[in-house]
Amino acid sequence: MNRWRKACAAACRSACPALGSGGHDIGGFENTAPAHVYKRWCAFGLLSSHSRLHGSKSYRVPWAYDDESCDVVRHFTQLKCRMMPYLYRQAALANEFGTPMLRSMMLEFPHDPACDYLDRQYMLGGFRAGGAGV
């Protein structure tokens, strides 16, 4: 769980104008995450611009975990497909203006001091809020 939380926080912190898009290795690259962490990571990772189910020592495919993992991956893959016009537009805006697709709350709301500490909540483009389930 700790590696997943760090990955979510790192993704939010790294969302700066220099990085228009980004992704991460769902389930962790070096160590295999337990099923409950994997499912949360899939929910977050499948809404990143790059969604990768791979690692160095084991497969990160949902059927290697359990049936519920397959359901979670299916649900968020379908959601990502439905959101593709929005995501495509956000990618075009990131390319044109340098505004990242995944934005930390601090970047999106720089004058709100409460956002300084929100490292697992983010904006996916300018109109969709997201959060890494804890």
What CATH number is associated with residue 114?
3.20.20.80
User: How many Cβ atoms sit within 10 Å of the Cβ of residue 35?
Assistant: 16
**Could you read off the pLDDT of 14-59 as tens digits, one per residue?**
555 555 556 667 887 777 888 998 898 888 888 877 788 877 777 7
- The pTM for the full model equals 0.76
129-131 vs 121-124, strand pairing mode = antiparallel
Look at residue 69 and tell me whether its pLDDT is greater than 70.
yes
* Domains: count for the chain: 1
